[in-house]
Amino acid sequence: MPVSAPVCDFGWRPPDFRLPTTDGRALGLADVAGPRGTLVMFICNHCPYVQSVLDRIIRDARDLIAAGVGVAAISSNDVDAYPQDSFAEMARLAAARDFPFPYLWDESQDVARAWGAACTPDFFGLNAAGDLQYRGRLDASGRQAVPDAPRDLYQAMLQIAETGRGPDHQIPSMGCSIKWKAV
């Protein structure tokens, strides 16, 4: 069953983190921040919503990085229940698809909980000051990519890079729920 992310809580300041990356580093929010804003996205390997738009995520990330926006992806799923989301599989996917952004592993799921991540994909667009300005969708695609869909996330992040403020109207992202560990 698909899950929608909450709407943007303008001005919310996310907590910092330090997580391992698939290329052997450990990065925090300041390490991935760009001079004109930051996009942190919660994704995973197996989600059909992510798989259907992964090419677009990579394209938009490249374009946003060129515009001065830092980009990072975090996977927080329970890898015992979903082994295709394991750290080794994350590294394989990031290398095979030549991710232009760091892919971080939230093994404890503490970051996903602290950020209120709800689904994959779930996008958090921050301005240069670190305030949340976008919590919307990539585009109109769902489990199937919509041909020639307007680039909602990309346009919102460019607006944030230029003005420091996200669009007033945002359509929440939809995807698979974060796969939480049994407590």
Number of domains in the chain: 1
The band of 2, judged by pLDDT with boundaries at 50, 70 and 90, is confident
Give CA–CA dist 84/63, Å, rounded: 28
DSSP notation for 29-92:
HHHH-BTTBEEEEE--SS-HHHHHHHHHHHHHHHHHHHTT-EEEEEE---TTT-GGGSHHHHHH
**Residue 91 placed within a domain:** yes
As a whole-number percent, the residues of the chain with pLDDT over 70 amount to 99
Identify the DSSP state of 11.
T
Pairing of strands 119-120, 132-134: unpaired
Q: What is the pLDDT of residue 183?
A: 77
**Residue 84 placed within a domain:** yes
**Residue 183 placed within a domain:** no
The band of 7, judged by pLDDT with boundaries at 50, 70 and 90, is confident
**Residue 93 placed within a domain:** yes
**Residue 165 placed within a domain:** yes
* Domain range for 31: 3-177
- Give the model confidence (pLDDT) of 9-25 as tens digits: 999 999 999 999 999 99
Task: Report the CATH number at residue 68.
Answer: 3.40.30.10
Three-class SS state of 125: strand
The yes-or-no verdict on residue 136 having pLDDT over 70 is yes
**Residue 41 placed within a domain:** yes
**Residue 157 placed within a domain:** yes
Give CA–CA dist 118/123, Å, rounded: 10
As a whole-number percent, the residues of the chain with pLDDT over 90 amount to 95
**Residue 182 placed within a domain:** no
